[in-house]
Amino acid sequence: PRSISRLLSCPGTIAASVGNEEQSSVVAEAGIEDKTLQKKFSEVQKERREQAQRTVLIHCPNNINEKKFLKYLSQHGPVNNHFFYESFGLFAVVEFCQKDSIKSLQNGTHTPTQSTEAAIPFKSRFLNLRLKNPSSQVSGQPFVQTTNQSPPSSKKLFELLIYAESIEEQLNTLLKAFQLTEENIRLRHLTCSLIEDIAAAYFPSCVIRPFGSSVNTFGKLGCDLDMFLDLDETGKLDVHKNTGNFFMEFQVKNVPSERIATQKILSVIGECLDNFGPGCVGVQKILNARCPLVRFSHQGSGFQCDLTANNSIALKSSELLYIYGSLDSRVRALVFSVRCWARAHSLTSSIPGAWITNFSLTVMVIFFLQRRSPPILPTLDSLKSIADAEDRCILEGNNCTFIQDVNKIQPSGNTETLELLIKEFFEYFGNFAFNKNSINIRQGREQNKPDSSPLYIQNPFQTSLNISKNVSQNQLQKFVELARDSAWILEQEDTNQPFSSSRQPWGLAALLLPPGSGHTSLSRKKKKKPMSEKVKGLLASIKSNSPDSSTDTSGK
């Protein structure tokens, strides 16, 4: 069991975060830290939200003096935590101990006046710090240390993988290099909190909740930020004040359907973001999509954001993935490698289309781990069967109940290595009867496909739906062929061994080589040559200082 103690300088500070193994949630009573407990998803989200509400984002001059900066801010109250990062300038994320400090800071903040343009005077928590006397502060330590918010380049990744000592180590290295950092997680929650302030201009008690890979433990640095506008909080009634012979209703406008209501709400929020949202640029209202959304970039945090409305089933899906990702350390390592593998071979894309999605890939890995003997992951039905009364959850008429406390789930007795698992994953899906069978993590077994979609993965909560309905026969075929090739590569003894001295791509590094590098299964099988000339050429280009990076390992 892992255990960390963190001294808490302020009440309400989050003792640990989710996403990093070494930061996994810990309950540490002062001095007692032998028991490692994983926090519930809802608890983590609540704490992160509260933390974000005490936080500001500040664009800083490059030559800022950190000590003076902190001293200046502490006029408004004690600072609990801060970090700097670079993204078209220098930015600081500053978390105060108390929410009141934000008010005080905002009271001393000016709205800029310019001669040529006029400012929309919206007072947010995204600020700009200027030096009164720019030359005076250059002395001392001019450069602050910044944290990295981007994924490693493909060159860096290949280097890390080539020097690893086993395939197991390669998978864990990839996970460490790509997983969201503590700072990146904070920045994601802060961005949602900043957007919430804007949406609150219309809906004062709304909540903007992050979901998807930002919170489900499978997020990669650089992944998009999915968030939804939750208006249900406003509908929570104070039952104590509801006695007597009457009940009161709000006068409201009605529209013909829920979808139209969502479109209208997102439309005005999109307008708000576009017209007075500091840092919100490139706002696109995509209201006719199956799931209407507003897409925009948040300058400062650098995130590509997708805002939807009332998406509570997607949040529940994120919680389910969080449970699976927290149960066994092999799950995240395997999912990250499979996601990177799919991206490297263009099986996934940031453009919507007939490709498989990261969400589907994750569900496929979960299904595969349910099929091991003994199983590494429990079925969704078994997570439902051990649920308590407080776990009961019905959303839009769907029973979404499952146990929320990871600590109550029996750990798996399976001790298979990651090396075996990744090999078997490709073997399993390279030979899966996709034409007949569907993937179903609720029951943890294959079932007959209810329709003729090439790939059928049952939606865990809306069980009559297929989450991979968009995938074409061609894309599925490509997935199967690449899975077979990859299983074959991993079976070759010569690519299975570390070649630290010769720096040949072996193991996982060989699997991530981009298409067109001579790795077609047939040519390899016929020639039985471990490394083609093209692969050697590619390696040479990785070794050289050329900025050309052939594999896009960033983004989705």
Binding site for ligand GTP (CB under 6 A): 211-213, 216, 223-224, 226, 314, 317-318, 357-359, 459, 467, 556
178 binds, among ligand GTP, Mg ion, none (CB under 5 to 8 A by kind): none
Q: Among Mg ion, ligand GTP, none, what does residue 314 contact (CB within 5–8 Å per kind)?
A: ligand GTP
Amino acid identity, position 503? R
In whole angstroms, the minimum distance from the beta carbon of 281 to Mg ion comes to: 19
Report the interhelical angle of 258-276 vs 182-199 (nearest 10°). Answer: 100
Q: Residue 151's binding partner, choosing from ligand GTP, Mg ion, none, with beta-carbon cut-off 5 to 8 A by kind?
A: none
Q: Measured from the CB atom, is 211 or 506 closer to ligand GTP?
A: 211
Chosen from ligand GTP, Mg ion, none, partner binding at 467 (C-beta under 5 to 8 Å by type): ligand GTP
Nearest residue to 313 via CA among 400, 209, 379, 404: 400
Q: How would you class 54 by CB atoms within 10 Å of its CB: exposed for 0-12, middle for 13-18, buried for 19 or more?
A: buried
224 contacts Mg ion (rule: CB under 5 A): yes
Q: Give how far Cα 41 sits from Cα of 136, 210, 233, 278, 382, Å.
A: 47, 12, 18, 30, 19
Q: How far is the CB of 211 from Mg ion (least distance, A)?
A: 8
The neighbouring-strand residues paired with 451 are: none
For residue 319, the minimal CB distance to ligand GTP (Å) is 9
- From CA 517, how far away is CA 529, in angstroms rounded? 14
CB of 430 to Mg ion, least distance (A): 27
Selection from Mg ion, ligand GTP, none that 459 binds (CB < 5 to 8 A by kind) is ligand GTP
Which of the listed partners (Mg ion, ligand GTP, none) does 556 bind, with a CB threshold of 5 to 8 Å by partner kind?
ligand GTP
Name which of Mg ion, ligand GTP, none residue 551 binds, using a CB cut-off of 5 to 8 Å depending on partner kind: none
The whole-angstrom separation of Cα 438 and Cα 192 is 36
Q: Which residues pair with 127 in a beta bridge?
A: 58
**Contact mark string toward Mg ion, 129..158, x via CB under 5 A:** ------------------------------
Q: Which does 317 bind (CB under 5 to 8 A by kind): Mg ion, ligand GTP, none?
A: ligand GTP
Minimum Å distance from CB 277 to ligand GTP? 21
**Of 359 and 434, which has the nearer Cβ to ligand GTP?**
359
Closer Cβ to ligand GTP, 191 or 459, answer by number: 459
The answer to whether the CB of 220 falls within 8 A of the CB of 180 is yes
Report in angstroms how near the CB of residue 154 gets to ligand GTP at its nearest.
18
Q: Supply the minimum distance, in Å, between the C-beta of residue 215 and ligand GTP.
A: 9
Q: Which residue number, 210 or 279, has a Cβ lying nearer to ligand GTP?
A: 210
Out of ligand GTP, Mg ion, none, what residue 359 binds, judged by CB under 5 to 8 A for its kind, is ligand GTP
Shortest distance (Å) from residue 176 CB to ligand GTP: 17
Query: From CA 192, how far away is CA 189, in angstroms rounded?
Result: 5
Mapped onto helix, strand or coil, the DSSP state of residue 442 is: coil
3-state secondary structure 165-187: CCHHHHHHHHHHHHECCHHHHHH
**Which CB sits closer to ligand GTP, 458 or 517?**
458
Contact window for Mg ion (CB under 5 A) among 6-14, 222-230, 327-335, 348-356 = 222-230
Tell me the residue nearest to Mg ion as measured from the CB. 212
Label residue 246 exposed, middle or buried (CB < 10 Å: 0-12, 13-18, 19+): exposed
Q: Is 222 in the site for Mg ion (CB under 5 A)?
A: no
Query: Residue 197 burial (CB < 10 Å; 0-12/13-18/19+)?
Result: middle
Burial of residue 2 (CB within 10 Å: 0-12, 13-18, 19+) is exposed
Contact 84, 147 (CB under 8 A): yes
> Token digits for 82?
């801060």
Euclidean distance between CA atoms 536 and 547, whole angstroms? 18
What single-letter amino acid sits at 348? Answer: T
Q: Is 295 or 445 the residue whose CB approaches ligand GTP more closely? A: 295
Q: Which of 95, 183, 226, 485 binds Mg ion (CB under 5 A)?
A: 226
The order of strands in the sheet holding 303-309 is: 207-211, 225-230, 303-309, 293-298, 280-286
What's the closest the beta carbon of residue 446 comes to ligand GTP, in angstroms?
A: 20
Q: Please identify, using beta-carbon distances, which residue of 226 and 419 lies nearer to Mg ion.
A: 226
What does DSSP assign to residue 297? E
* Residue from 19, 151, 212, 302 binding Mg ion (CB under 5 A): 212
Q: Are 300 and 59 in contact (CB under 8 A)?
A: yes
Answer whether the bond into residue 450 is a cis peptide, omega within 30°. Answer: no
Is 360 a binding residue for Mg ion by CB under 5 A? The answer is: no
- The listed partner (ligand GTP, Mg ion, none) that binds 518, CB under 5 to 8 Å by sort, is none
Binding partner at 41 among ligand GTP, Mg ion, none, C-beta below 5 to 8 Å by kind: none
101, 193, 213, 348: which one contacts Mg ion (CB under 5 A)? 213
CB 363 within 8 A of CB 334: no
Closest approach of ligand GTP to the CB of residue 314, in Å: 4
174 and 154 Cβ atoms separated by less than 8 Å:
no
Point out the residue whose Cβ comes nearest to ligand GTP.
212
Q: Is the CB of 36 or the CB of 472 nearer to ligand GTP? A: 472
**Least gap, CB of 515 to ligand GTP (angstroms):** 20
DSSP 8-state class, residue 112? P
| Backbone torsion region of residue 439, taken as left when φ is above 0, otherwise alpha when ψ lies between -120 and 50, otherwise beta | beta
Spatial distance between the Cα atoms of 529 and 242, rounded to a whole number of angstroms? 78
Residue 493 Cβ vs ligand GTP, minimum distance, rounded to whole Å? 34
CB of 305 to Mg ion, least distance (A): 10
Residues sharing a CB contact under 8 Å with residue 414, sequence separation 6 or more, in sequence order: 372, 373, 374, 375, 376
Binding site for Mg ion (CB under 5 A): 212-213, 224, 226
